Amino acid sequence: MAAEAEAEDGPEWDQFFSDCAPPPNAAASVRALGEFAAQHAEQCRRLVLVTSGGTKVPLESRTVRYLDNFSSGWRGAVSAEHFLQLGYAVVFLHRQRSLFPFSRRYSGLNLLDALKAVLDVGTGCWRVEADQAALPGIVPTLQRYAAVREAGLLLPLEFSTLSDYLYLLRAAAQALHHNGPKAMFYLAAAVSDFFIPASEMPEHKIQSGANPLQLSMQMVPKMLTPLVKDWAPQAFVTSFKLETDSSQLLARARKALATYRHQVVVANTLETRRVYVLIVTEDSQVDIKLSENEVQQHHEIEEKIVKHLSECHTNFIEKSKNPT
Ligand code: PAZ
């Protein structure tokens, strides 16, 4: 990481990053990000960083236990496919073993039930056959996935813990700096607000005893502040806000926009997130819904969210060419 950029992060961030180890394969991920961003900047292609899934927060440094959250990675994986469909290059920063674009359709399946080993009597060799009925839509899915890979449009990066996520987010933001307003951030991951600094974590497994467990956790510094101000100041930034009280959606979204001064908040509630979101910008608020009929026909709300945001992104790029 460039020393200059580290200095800009501010004391809270300096403290956070100096306290935690870089993720496994950090150098390779940073290199891959730089190459991916440069290649698509050269091709004048729009690029989106989609974050997806929940972060793990370790409770011990030799970690046996950790805090986690509900996020399955559905929103991120489905949205990544729709961005690819619209011609974006996609960095998919996702929680290890959460849902992945294309393969997410088969996530509930035991693969061994869909495959069969067959002996070819002519050659005496075994080959593997797939039962297409057990893998609905597998041929077009494989074709789309192969086309995306061949065109080099998808860069998957994995995280597991909160600190891995934040390290890679910062690295991605700094790489995407070169893509200017053509870069979009689509921050759908469910990131912990609390953590235990490494210096305060017990080394060994917390022992169970007569007393209830008491934890003291610190607030994670708000990463939208350096992201918008320092890491990627020209990019189009969409954050997500999850609430459990729908009456708070609009007020909380507006508060986030006023605090971080980024472009969009997509607000959703836990129970209705597959069928309803509220997209809030400085001067608009738009309801995006799936009707009963659309739900029955297996439409995905992410298609509408991504379409709407890509139109906002177009306006943003145009405005950045002709600032008034
Ligand atoms: O991953 P998923 O599809 O199960 O859930 C998506 C979501 C609710 C995590 C996402 O839409 C979201 O709101 N992310 C931000 C959560 C937050 O407020 O930190």
Q: What is the pLDDT of residues 153-205, one digit of tens each?
A: 999 999 999 999 999 999 999 999 889 999 999 999 999 999 999 889 999 99
DSSP-derived 3-state class of residue 100: coil
**Residue labelled with tokens 């997410």:** 104
Cα–ligand 1 centroid distance for 240 (angstroms): 7
pLDDT reported for residue 232: 94
Which residues, in sequence order, are CB contacts of 320 under 8 Å at separation 6+? 180, 181, 234
Ligand 1 pocket member 268 (CB < 6 A): yes
Q: Which of 55, 68, 71 to mutate to test the pocket of ligand 1 (most atoms within 8 A of CB)?
A: 71
pLDDT tens digit sequence for 64-84: 999 999 999 999 999 999 999
pLDDT reported for residue 9: 55
Per domain, the residue ranges of the chain are 2-205+215-234
Q: Is the pLDDT of residue 237 over 90?
A: yes
DSSP-derived 3-state class of residue 283: coil
pLDDT tens digit sequence for 8-66: 556 788 889 988 889 999 999 999 999 999 999 999 999 999 999 999 999 999 999 99
Cα(238)–Cα(185) distance, rounded to whole angstroms? 6
Mean pLDDT of 297-315: 98
| 28 and 197 Cβ atoms separated by less than 8 Å | no
DSSP state of 230: I
pLDDT reported for residue 323: 79
Instruction: Count each helix (H run) and each strand (E run) in the chain, helices first.
Output: 11, 14
Q: Is the pLDDT of residue 279 over 50?
A: yes
Residue 24: other Cβ atoms inside 10 A: 11
Ligand 1 pocket member 72 (CB < 6 A): yes
Q: Which two tokens stand for residue 303?
A: 């298609």
| 153 and 89 Cβ atoms separated by less than 8 Å | yes
**Please, which residues bridge with residue 61 across strands?**
none
Q: Which two tokens stand for residue 131?
A: 């039962």
DSSP-derived 3-state class of residue 78: helix
Q: Is the pLDDT of residue 3 over 70?
A: no
pLDDT reported for residue 19: 86
pLDDT reported for residue 10: 66
Ligand 1 pocket member 239 (CB < 6 A): no
Burial class, 213, CB count within 10 angstroms (exposed 0-12 / middle 13-18 / buried 19+): exposed
Which atom of ligand 1 approaches the CA of 73 most closely? 1
Chosen CATH of 2-205+215-234 out of 3.90.1200.10, 3.40.50.720, 3.40.605.10, 3.40.50.10300: 3.40.50.10300
Which residue, by CA, sits nearest to atom 16 of ligand 1?
190
Q: Is the pLDDT of residue 119 over 70?
A: yes
Which residue, by CA, sits nearest to atom 13 of ligand 1?
242
pLDDT reported for residue 178: 85
Q: Which pLDDT band holds residue 6 (cuts at 50, 70, 90)?
A: very low
DSSP state of 244: S
Q: Which two tokens stand for residue 27?
A: 């150098």
N residues, the chain: 324
**Residue labelled with tokens 């992945």:** 100
Which residues, in sequence order, are CB contacts of 41 under 8 Å at separation 6+? 47, 178, 179, 180, 182
pLDDT tens digit sequence for 245-255: 999 999 999 99
Task: List, in sequence order, the alpha helices (H) in 133-246.
Answer: 138-150, 162-176, 224-226
Quote the crossing angle between the two packed helices 11-19 and 162-176, to the nearest 10°.
120
Cα(238)–Cα(63) distance, rounded to whole angstroms? 33
Q: Is the pLDDT of residue 88 over 60?
A: yes
Which atom of ligand 1 approaches the CA of 99 most closely? 1
Burial class, 171, CB count within 10 angstroms (exposed 0-12 / middle 13-18 / buried 19+): buried
Q: Is the pLDDT of residue 302 over 70?
A: yes
CA dist list (Å): 154 to 26, 48, 50, 151, 203: 18, 10, 11, 8, 38
**Residue labelled with tokens 């910062």:** 170
pLDDT reported for residue 193: 97
Ligand 1 pocket member 192 (CB < 6 A): no
pLDDT reported for residue 75: 98
Instruction: Indicate whether this model's pTM tops 0.85.
Output: yes
| 217 and 194 Cβ atoms separated by less than 8 Å | yes
pLDDT tens digit sequence for 310-320: 999 999 999 99
Q: Which pLDDT band holds residue 135 (cuts at 50, 70, 90)?
A: very high
Cα(49)–Cα(3) distance, rounded to whole angstroms? 23
Percent of residues, the chain, with pLDDT higher than 90: 89
Q: Is the pLDDT of residue 5 over 70?
A: no
Minimal CA–CA distance to 241: which of 279, 290, 271?
279
| Distance between start and end Cα atoms, the chain | 35
Cα–ligand 1 centroid distance for 298 (angstroms): 20
